[in-house]
Chains A and B, each alone.
Chain A
Amino acid sequence: KNEVEQSPQNLTAQEGEFITINCSYSVGISALHWLQQHPGGGIVSLFMLSSGKKKHGRLIATINIQEKHSSLHITASHPRDSAVYICAVGGAQKLVFGQGTRLTINP
């Protein structure tokens, strides 16, 4: 079993829909990261959080430390949100990554 599991693996939605991507982990962590990778490969950090909730524009990330679970929400989704979203959890010095969720938003 992977230490970091994301669901769903693939998600297709219509523009404007509310999107939720989930991340569950089985290891102790100091922080959880959400990353975005667009076609063409560049990886960008969206959030780093160790408790509670963070919001940036239309993106919201939450974490429940007790349940070892995090969610990434996108409100009013747009085709430019189409990308792979990656969850990563951080221990003492290393990050462990989930396999990613491929999100496609159709106009």
Chain B
Amino acid sequence: NAGVTQTPKFQVLKTGQSMTLQCAQDMNHEYMSWYRQDPGMGLRLIHYSVGAGITDQGEVPNGYNVSRSTTEDFPLRLLSAAPSQTSVYFCASRRDIEYEQYFGPGTRLTVT
């Protein structure tokens, strides 16, 4: 199993550009989440999904969209990048709320 994969590993965007961060898992997990990690802030939940076709907002959803058309994939879209979205983004998945969470390797995004 590849586990949770994320692409790209690094990305630089200009303010106003849009892009999609890809996340995929091959463990047939129902639960998937996107987090951002900023210095001194800890991990904060952006959006999450409890199964294909079901998504919900987390703590910091503004400026991001998600969709879950398949169990495997959970892309995160930045609609119009802003410098405040400079961060490290982690995707994670787990089988159910009673199971451990598996994290992807992260995407380091810089918005100039």
**A binding-site residues for B, Cβ under 8 Å:** 4, 30-31, 33, 35, 41-45, 48, 86, 88, 90, 92-100
A41-B88, A42-B106, A98-B42 known; A30 vs B98 contact (CB < 8 Å): yes
- 13 A-B pairs with CB atoms under 8 Å apart are A31-B98, A33-B100, A33-B101, A44-B103, A45-B101, A88-B101, A93-B31, A93-B97, A94-B45, A95-B33, A99-B40, A99-B42, A100-B42
**Cα–Cα distance between A98 and B40 once the two chains are bound (Å):** 10
Q: Which B33-74 residues sit within 8 Å CB-CB of chain A?
A: 33, 35, 40-45, 48, 50, 56, 58
A42-B105, A43-B103 known; A95 vs B45 contact (CB < 8 Å): yes
**Cα–Cα distance between A94 and B35 once the two chains are bound (Å):** 11
Contact assessment for A99 and B101 in the assembled complex, using a CB-CB cutoff below 8 Å: no
Partner of B103, one of A30, A42, A92, A94: A42
**Cα–Cα distance between A44 and B31 once the two chains are bound (Å):** 17
**Interchain nearest-CB distance for A81 vs B (Å):** 19
CB contacts (< 8 Å) of A33 on chain B: these are 100-101
**Interchain nearest-CB distance for B68 vs A (Å):** 14
Contact assessment for B99 and A48 in the assembled complex, using a CB-CB cutoff below 8 Å: yes
6 A-B pairs with least C-beta separation: A43-B103, A97-B43, A99-B42, A45-B100, A97-B42, A48-B100
Contact assessment for A90 and B106 in the assembled complex, using a CB-CB cutoff below 8 Å: no
**Cα–Cα distance between A44 and B41 once the two chains are bound (Å):** 19
Contact assessment for B42 and A86 in the assembled complex, using a CB-CB cutoff below 8 Å: yes
CB contacts (< 8 Å) of B90 on chain A: these are 43
**Cα–Cα distance between A30 and B88 once the two chains are bound (Å):** 27
CB contacts (< 8 Å) of A90 on chain B: these are 97
**Interchain nearest-CB distance for B59 vs A (Å):** 8
**Cα–Cα distance between A16 and B97 once the two chains are bound (Å):** 36
**Cα–Cα distance between A48 and B92 once the two chains are bound (Å):** 15
Nearest chain A residue, comparing its CB with the CB of B41: A99
**Interchain nearest-CB distance for A60 vs B (Å):** 17
